Amino acid sequence: MFVQIRRSVYYILGLGWRKTSRKAGVMTFRTLLVTKALVCLIFGVFLLAAPGMLYGLLGGTLSATGMFTAREYGAALIGTLLLTWLAKDVGAFDAKRAILLDLLVYDGIGVIITVAAISSGILNVLGWGIVVVYLLFAAWSGFVLLAGRSKGLSQQKRET
């Protein structure tokens, strides 16, 4: 049943169906970028269309300046969506490394800022869900970066 669901999701996302070995798992560069793109789509559109509603769910309130800043962040998420979706099939090691480092730093800073907002009472307990999302993406980016680095270094040694 899991395989059928996985095939359906791959088909809907236009990824095609590829069997992966247990060794490869789902922690790949491509899967990370597609997943990040989907999360950016959801939050980016929500922040552009109804930032007050989203922050209201999280216990925050927005002034006119806050609405502008939230929409700017939504626009940045749409930019990240385009970057991650269009770069999901990039093959160059240096490009992958730059993208992964960007995502690692971005999500790491997101963890720190969101924890600070929760600690100071700006966001309610639902803010921890955002922390978890940032933390998962930071860890995933770091994992893929380290795995790719060891693979890239071994390939470079063979070429020389």
Confirm whether 71 is domain-assigned: yes
Q: For residues 48 and 56, is the Cβ–Cβ distance under 8 A?
A: no
| 16 pLDDT higher than 50 | no
Q: How far lies 84's CA from each of 68, 88, 139, in Å?
A: 24, 6, 17
| 23 pLDDT higher than 50 | no
Sequence-ordered list of residues with C-beta below 8 angstroms from that of 148, at least 6 positions apart, any chain:
29, 93, 96, 97, 100
| 18 pLDDT higher than 80 | no
Q: What is the domain range of residue 59?
A: 28-159
Confirm whether 13 is domain-assigned: no
Confirm whether 3 is domain-assigned: no
pTM attached to this predicted model: 0.77
Confirm whether 90 is domain-assigned: yes
| 159 pLDDT higher than 80 | no
Confirm whether 18 is domain-assigned: no
pLDDT at position 95: 92
Q: How far lies 157's CA from each of 77, 81, 116, 152, 160, in Å?
A: 37, 34, 43, 9, 5
Confirm whether 40 is domain-assigned: yes
| 38 pLDDT higher than 60 | yes
Question: Mean pLDDT of all residues in the chain?
Answer: 84
Confirm whether 1 is domain-assigned: no
How many domains is the chain partitioned into structurally? Answer: 1
Indicate if the alpha-carbon torsion angle 86, 109, 125, 70 is positive or negative.
negative
Confirm whether 10 is domain-assigned: no
Indicate if the alpha-carbon torsion angle 70, 74, 79, 80 is positive or negative.
positive
Q: What is the pLDDT of residues 96-155, one digit of tens each?
A: 999 999 999 999 999 999 999 999 999 999 999 999 999 999 999 999 999 877 665 445
Half-sphere exposure of 23 (CA within 13 A, CB side): 1
